[in-house]
Structure 1
Amino acid sequence: MSYQALYRVWRPQRFDEIVGQQVITKTLKNALITDQISHAYLFSGPRGTGKTSTAKILAKAVNCEHLKDGEPCNECATCVAINQGSLNDVIEIDAASNNGVEEIRNIRDKAKYAPTEASYKVYIIDEVHMLSTGAFNALLKTLEEPPAHVIFILATTEPHKIPATILSRLQRFDFRRISAADIAAQMKKILESKQVQFDERAVKIIAKSAEGGMRDALSILDQALSYDSQQLTYESALQVTGSVARDELQRYFEAVVAGDVSTGLQVVTATLAAGKDASQFIEDLVDYCQSLLLYQQDEALVSADELGLLGDHFQQIAGSLAKHRIYRFVEIMNEVQQQLRFTYHPDLYLDILTVRLSDEQEEQAAPTAPESASAYQQLEQQVAQLQQQLQALEQRPTSAAPALAQAQSDQPVSKRTVPNNPKAPKPDVNGIFGILDAATKADLEQYRSNWGALLQLLSVTQRAVLHVARPVAASEAGVVIAFDYGFLYQKAGSDEQLMTALEQGLEQLLGRIPQVYFVPKEEWPTLRQEYLQQHPRGGKINDKETSSVAEPQAEQPVAKSDPTEEPKSVRKAKELFGDELVNVEND
């Protein structure tokens, strides 16, 4: 097979070719230049962000015969052999399929021997979190006292599953999601080198659909070029990603805002006839609502490039539509999105969505004129007819909805989907649980006391995003920040400049760079309760979420008791979240 996928052909061969991880690559290059190479590294982060590629480049750099400015030459015999995968001194291991004690013991025994061709023997262990407890114990001694000629590079997407005894012996580098702008720039570079004509809008759609992963973006681009090898068009990008054209979204949105049910239903029919996914249609609508809210909050939050993709009437809609109506639209879309999972008739639910959104407009403006009253009655009749059709479908014996609903309810809490903005990235549950493992009330108070000073160090636009956010849990290693609004949580999670500014501000105030995790405020109580249930010392604790400034609870008569007699689970919860946020109820 002669053809290779784009993500393989364009795998980075130098540190400067790694996209979106400049801090990490600069640190590694400086370590190579000053000859301060560590014996063990941990590369952690989401998929497709460059962990394995960086590991291979580091393996080349430490063994390169003509290293220049921290970059491998890719021309010497050692570099060429590593690129071809034929150098015996660079060993790549997939921990997902080699996770037993015997495999690690084999590595430990062979690590004692000097390299045969290169200067260092480098072990790259991918998905290292899959190792068993016994395998980690077998690896521990080698990491603690490694031979001088051995370097370990561990890569994982779930660093919280690695024992603390292992983590303490590694230099850790956290790879971040790559911004859509960086992904788009890299795709343009690839398309220009292949001499393929492309539409700027198509590149932006693919970059946004990749959700921070360069490998995912190149896979989608590969599929789009297979669909049309001569050029990358806006239509082909929409077809491959399943997205809906912005002009159609704008037309639909204008229709439901104006209460024009007929036009809205026509857009839905045309969208489904074109093969678009109903769930993706709703996600695109929510994304459009998010852009409206961001633009209303601060016009600078929506770039000029994004405005070009949102339609000619976007600014007019944003200026005329009240925020509370957009909030209500998103709530209705979320409800229908959840219901779509249990039906084989998505067209019916999109029709219901259209009528409900249009009906929301009528509810806000109470009709008094005869014409308005008549239109309102017509909408009520349409809703009643659609509800009757829905009930008839649900009563059919072949319907899979009850079974699916029961299966969903039988899943453990950690596996259920928390209703939220379907387009927003999910919180890093594993990272948040890692913070809660060592969280204390003292650390949380430290972050809260410095929160105002931190906001003053940010730009006006960055403060606009964080003005309704606050720390809710913290440890020595990092902090969890909750956002009152989901659209601001999504904006912050995808803003690399904001994350960098936060880290710099916290380093200035606290003297260290902590890990920062974002979470929507409505999901925080669920995640916190889930952690307490899964924790070995967790108990039946009823957490009550308070306002941004916790109010003292009213004093109530209680029987005198020895404070030391509190259950361990209660003491642990108070250590994590503070006395004012924990309410204990007797069964």
Structure 2
Amino acid sequence: MEHIALYRAWRPQSFQDMVGQQHIIRTLQNAIREQRLSHAYLFSGPRGTGKTSTAKVLAKAVNCEKGPAPEPCNECDACRRITAGAVMDVLEIDAASNRGVEEIRDLREKVKYAPTEVRQKVYIIDEVHMLTTEAFNALLKTLEEPPPHVMFILATTEPHRLPATVISRCQRFDFRRVSLEEQSQRLRTICEQEGISAEDEAIEYIARLSDGGMRDALSILDQISSFSDGRVSYQQVLDMTGGIPSRQFAELARTILEDDVGGMLQLIEGFMQEGKSADKCMENLLYYFRDLLMIKMIPEADKLTERVLDARDFREMASAFSRAHLFRIIDTLNHYQSEMKYAAQPQTLFEVALLKLCSLPKGDGSVREEAAQQAAVPGAAASEVQQLKRQLAELERKLEQALQGGLAGGAGGGSERSAARPPARSSAPRLSSPAKLPSGLDKYVAQRNSPEFMAVQGKWNQILQAVKDEKVTIHAWFVNGEPVSMVDDAVLVAFKNDIHRETTEKPANKQLIEQVMERQLGHPCRLVTMMLKDWNEAIQGANAAPSEPFELEPPPEDAGGSGKEPWVDEALQLFGEELVVIKE
């Protein structure tokens, strides 16, 4: 006997067979009972939710020899022939193939003739949104005032593409996705009738895969039962559909939580070896973290999602993440999911997205959570406290130096004339803090074009790549700087951003960079840093220095003040003793 696909063999033949559309079935049955049927209906909704099946059942109900009845008998000649598609007065038209104005004009001509085999003509136009604008215009008048013996049923998955003039002439019914519970119950009934042995977990997973479409669920069940000789297990469903169990996503989430990059990459490689697609993995991982967030924020949230099989496992994993961390993870995954649609190598982008997750801040910044994290990891907390103390001491030292510099400047300007005179220009870089200026800056300026520095500059790309190979996070900060000079074994690197410079100066990061430079250059090297804007000012000051001695004339006798002493001091500060000649 020829095999018939399950979704065809189990197509609903009566209203009571429909799954998940009770709000529509009840309305149609009441209209039949009260003889208040409309001349035109619009059935819209996702694929596989029963739009065309409902249209055929309605056609049988209005034409049943024992009716019109709320339920077709499926035994009379009219019901059986409509089911077989052998009644000429019940036409199912595919609008994708008959979308032109000529086909609609032909339909308009035939509408006027009375039915020959059954009580009422029924035109079922499937995928009606595919009709052209001209075809819709040709259908409008007939759709609005058809002969009394004609009923139109329009079905579409995209109602927004229909003209408003067409929608306003129909009674519209919106089909919803079938719930997980209703789908699972229907699948169990079919398995019992078909002699298929299926695990409950497998049936629920098939229902989730179908995304609310009953036809898709039956197609998946049919495929897997053929593969497994009528015994459907959860693992077989995963193997056949390329799905990933939630426990593997839990392992992936744990590697993100522990910054275990190696373990994460091994899991991804395992997914790819099993034939999983990167875009599907990304989609499922996004759903997984969404469910974690829902369970963390809302009590009993497992009832709000159909993907959670064991709520206890989800709650345990959700408690390990902060809300802010989950929000950042979902934002990052959503961004990379959009990028993957246009990527030539989706797997690479998937790996990059997960590596990005490892570098996200874990906490949400709240005092309570910080305290909890410190209590959980006492060693790390102590290290953080020591680092904060060092930074505070450094800031106090810089502030003290800045205050001393300001007081010294104020002490030299006691007279009214000194206070009114504009401050002298300095060739040294203007820094926000004296501590940021490397000692012997003039030597670095003089050696900025030396052969030794040119050799360093020629190998800088290799140095950056070697740092990246050692630790990609250090490379992300270090790449912001550029080499500007070299004196002896000290390489001066200027940074555009202060935070990149400070992070690079951390002892562990600096030590790794110096080791890389020693390997690449063949001799021990020290890393010296400063801000790029300060370096540029130092270069400009050096270029602006006069090359000939500058003669300073004494001030006029009537200028007031205490003589030439302040002017001499200012000249010496500006140009240096070797360039100033004092004439009495």
Q: Which TM-score band applies after superposition, normalised by the shorter structure?
A: 0.5 to 0.7
Asked if structure 2 preserves the Cα contact closer than 8 Å seen for 1:247 and 1:311, the reply is no
How far did residue 84 of structure 1 move?
A: 0.7
Contact conserved, 2:295 with 2:314, CA < 8 A, in 1? Answer: no
| Counterpart position of 1:218 | 218
**For residue 153 of structure 1, what is the aligned residue in structure 2?**
153
How far residue 135 of structure 1 moved from its aligned partner, in angstroms, is 2.1
User: 1:10 maps to which residue?
Assistant: 10
Aligned partner letter, 2:206:
I
Q: Distance in 2 between matches of 1:133 and 1:94?
A: 16
* Kept in 1: contact 2:321–2:362 (CA 8 A): no
1:4 CA displacement: 2.0
Deviation track 1:431-459 (CA, whole Å, cap 9, x = no partner) reads: xxxxxxxxxxxxxxxxxxxxxxxxxxxxx
- SS of 1:72's partner is coil
Structure 2 distance, partners of 1:163, 1:211, is 28
Please give the alpha-carbon distance, in whole angstroms, between the structure 1 residues aligned to 2:275 and 2:113: 59
Give the whole-Å Cα distance in 2 for the aligned partners of 1:154 and 1:274: 43
Deviations for 1:371-399, whole angstroms, at most 9, x for unmatched residues? 999xxxx9994536999xxxxxxxxxxxx
Q: Following TM superposition, by how much is the alpha carbon of 1:328 offset from its aligned partner in structure 2, in angstroms?
A: 1.2
What is the alpha-carbon distance in structure 1 between the residues aligned to residue 175 and residue 354 of structure 2?
Answer: 41
Conserved? CA contact 1:44–1:51, under 8 Å: yes
Paired residues for 1:518-533 under 5 Å: none
Q: Against the structure 1 CA distance between its residues 82 and 311, is the aligned structure 2 distance closer, same or farther, given a 3 Å change threshold?
A: same
Cα distance in structure 2, aligned partners of 1:323 and 1:355? 20
Confirm whether residue 383 of structure 1 aligns to residue 472 of structure 2: yes
- Confirm or deny: 8 A CA contact 1:65 1:78 kept in the other structure: yes
**RCO (CA 8 Å, sep 6+): is it higher in 1 or 2?**
1
Cα distance change on mapping 1:361 and 1:259 into 2, 3 Å? farther
2:28 maps to 28
Alignment of 1:452-471 (within 5 A): none
Deviation at 1:346, TM superposition (A): 4.4
> Hey, what does 1:66 align to over in structure 2?
66
Tell me, in whole angstroms, the C-alpha distance in 2 between the residues paired with 1:45 and 1:353: 34
Residue identity in the other structure for 2:295: Y
Compared CA separation, residues 369 and 244, structure 1 to 2 (3 A): farther
User: Do the aligned partners of 1:355 and 1:379 also contact (CA within 8 Å) in 2?
Assistant: no
- Give the TM-score normalised by the residue count of structure 1: 0.60
Q: Say if 2:302 and 2:311, in contact at 8 Å, map to a contact too.
A: no
The residue type paired with residue 50 of structure 2 is G
Matches within 5 A, 1:58-137: 58-67=58-67, 70-137=70-137
- C-alpha distance in 2 between matches for 1:379 and 1:310: 41
Is 1:270 matched with 2:359?
Answer: no
Q: Distance in 2 between matches of 1:385 and 1:226?
A: 54
Using the alignment, how far apart are the partners of 1:371 and 1:273 within structure 2? 41
1:359 aligned residue: 359
- Tell me the residue number matched to 1:475: none
Task: Pick the structure with greater CA Rg.
Answer: 2
- Ranges in structure 2 where 5+ consecutive residues have no aligned partner: 365-372, 375-379, 387-466, 477-584
Q: Partners of 1:8 and 1:129 in 2: how far apart? A: 24
Q: CA separation in 1, counterparts of 2:474 and 2:272?
A: 21
Supply the RMSD in Å over aligned alpha carbons.
Answer: 3.2
Aligned counterparts of 1:148 and 1:206: Cα–Cα separation in 2: 45
- Judged with a 3 Å threshold, the aligned counterparts in structure 2 of structure 1 residues 362 and 12 are, in CA distance, closer, same or farther, namely closer
Aligned-partner residue type, residue 130 of structure 2? M
1:340·1:346 contact (CA, 8 Å) conserved in 2?
A: yes
Distance change in 2, residues 1:154/1:349 (3 Å): closer
Alignment of 1:122-521 (within 5 A): 122-303=122-303, 309-310=309-310, 313-360=313-360, 381-383=470-472
Match of 1:572 in 2: none
Question: Residues 156, 311 of structure 1: CA spacing in aligned structure 2 closer, same or farther, 3 A cutoff?
Answer: closer
**How far apart, in 2, do the equivalents of 1:93 and 1:327 lie?**
48
TM-score (norm 2): 0.60
Single out whichever of 173-182 and 156-165 deviates more from structure 2: 156-165
The 10-residue stretch of structure 1 (303-312 or 63-72) with the greater mean CA deviation from structure 2: 303-312
Separation of aligned partners in 2, 1:192 and 1:68: 33
* Secondary structure, aligned partner of 1:154: strand
Deviation at 1:333, TM superposition (A): 1.9
Name 2:505's counterpart in structure 1: none
**C-alpha offsets along residues 518-568 of structure 1, whole Å, 9 cap, x if unaligned?**
xxxxxxxxxxxxxxxxxxxxxxxxxxxxxxxxxxxxxxxxxxxxxxxxxxx
Separation in 2 of the partners of 1:306 and 1:246? 13
Among all aligned residue pairs of Structure 1 and Structure 2, give the percentage whose two residues are the same amino acid: 45
SS at 1:117 equivalent: coil
Offset, 1:329 = 1.3
Q: 1:288·1:310 contact (CA, 8 Å) conserved in 2?
A: no
Q: Offset at 1:163?
A: 2.8
Q: Distance in 2 between matches of 1:356 and 1:250?
A: 18
Structure 1 residues 491-525: Cα deviation after superposition (integer angstroms, max 9, x where no partner): xxxxxxxxxxxxxxxxxxxxxxxxxxxxxxxxxxx
Task: Give the superposition deviation at 1:308.
Answer: 6.3
Higher mean displacement: 122-131 or 301-310: 301-310
For residues 55 and 105 of structure 1, the distance between their equivalents in structure 2, rounded to whole angstroms, comes to 23
Q: 2:66 is paired with a residue of what secondary structure? A: coil
Q: In the superposition, relative to structure 1, how do residues 70 and 60 fare at CA in structure 2: closer, same or farther (>3 Å)?
A: same
* Corresponding residue for residue 485 of structure 1: none
Query: 1:339: how far off?
Result: 4.0
Whole-angstrom CA distance in 2 between matches of 1:155 and 1:43: 5
Distance 1:324 1:59, change over 3 A: same
By how many angstroms is 1:72 displaced? 0.1
Distance 1:258 1:3 in 2: 52
SS in structure 2 opposite 1:360? coil
Cα contact 2:322–2:363 (8 A) shared by 1: no
Pairwise CA distance, 1:345: 4.3
Q: Show CA shifts across 1:92-134 (max 9, x none).
A: 1111111222222222221222111101111111122222233
Compared CA separation, residues 317 and 162, structure 1 to 2 (3 A): closer
**Alignment gaps of 5+ in structure 1:** 388-587
Once residues 152 and 68 of structure 1 are traced to their aligned partners in structure 2, the CA distance between those partners, rounded to angstroms, is 17
Choose 363-372 or 312-321, whichever is displaced more. 363-372
